[in-house]
Each structure stands twice: as C-alpha cells, then as structure tokens.
Amino acid sequence: MHHNMHNCAQMYAHILQKTMNMKELLIQTKVKVCSEQELPQQLQELVRQAKDKTQDAYCPYSHYHVGAAALLEDGQVWTGANQENAAYPSGLCAERTTLFAANANNPHTPVTALAIACYTDGHFTHDPASPCGACRQVMLETEHRFGKPMTVVLYGERECYVFERASDLLPVCFTNENLEG
C-alpha cells in the first residue's frame, strides 16, 4: 500500500512538472457591480419581480427561495421560482422554470434580460444570487437560439452583479457550434 502511494505521488509530481511548462491562458469575464437603486429603471423593475417571486418558491427541503424574472423583447415579463421534489433530482431551479416557461410560450421572442433573487432565513441574500452550472447552460442556449444578448442581473442586498450577456457567466462554453465540430 505504502509502496503504491509513493509511486502515485511520484507520477503526479511528474505530471505537475510537465503542466508547469505549458502556456497558460487567463480567462476573464466582465461584470458590472452596483446597488439595486443604481440599476437602470427597467432592470430595477425586473429585480423587483424576481424578488416578489421568491415567495412562490416550493422549497420545503432547502428552504432556499429563488425567484427569477425574464424580460422578453416585446415587453412581456415571465416569472418563475424553484420547484423542489421529495425525489430531489426531479425538482428544478427558478432560472430554468422561468426560461422554459417563457420560451415554451413565446418560441420566437428573444429574452433580453433575466433577473434572479434568493431569499433565505427571513431575508434576501446579501451577496448576488449565483446560478448553478446547469442553469448557466440553459441561459446560454436561450441567448444563442435567438442570437441576441441576454443581460443577467444577480440580485444581492449589498450589491448586484450585471452581466451584459449570458455567455459571460460561462466561459469555455459548449454550444451548438461545438456539435458541428
């Protein structure tokens, strides 16, 4: 056992040595940081709807209420909240209930902005809401299918993050272009 571990550590050191000589790429993303009041009026209104929607979350397991609001190009707003399930993986995040509802009912109308807010322990989170990887992937697809940037606002009581496009939330992403090889 000891002998195997030693070999393993040696091999790993060798790999590390190799990667240290490789070219490094620093991937950066741009995000605007501001208070809720500093947001443009339209986004403030969208954040208000996302915050309101947290109260409609069904989250008896996590008690983590998430609300989202999607603004469509024609001015419609679709909202959603997380929907949990006793069989955990059967539930769905607020971001996806919102985007799927918006897209299923308006398959030809681009989504121009998405606001997300989280409420737990009797208050909205101080830090900006942070979407899971799967939701980021769905946001990216929404942006790609309509070919229009989708602004993403992550609400926090202390500060909000504003991403100009969904792809800024998912660097080195997988899109339909990857499927084409």
Which residues belong to the active site? 95
CB of 57 to Zn ion, least distance (A): 13
Burial of 48 (C-beta count, 10 Å sphere; 0-12/13-18/19+): middle
Q: Which is nearer to Zn ion, 6 or 63 (CB)?
A: 63
For residue 147, the Cα-to-chain-centroid distance in whole angstroms is: 18
Q: Does residue 128 contact residue 98 with C-beta atoms inside 8 Å? A: no
Q: Which is nearer to Zn ion, 66 or 162 (CB)?
A: 66
CB of 7 to Zn ion, least distance (A): 41
Residue closest to Zn ion (Cβ) = 93
The dihedral over CA atoms of 167, 168, 171, 176, expressed in degrees to the nearest 10, equals 10
Interatomic CA distance for residues 174 and 13, integer angstroms: 31
Q: Does residue 148 contact residue 110 with C-beta atoms inside 8 Å? A: yes
CB of 82 to Zn ion, least distance (A): 8
Q: Which is nearer to Zn ion, 49 or 97 (CB)?
A: 97
Sites of contact with Zn ion (CB under 5 A): 93, 132, 135
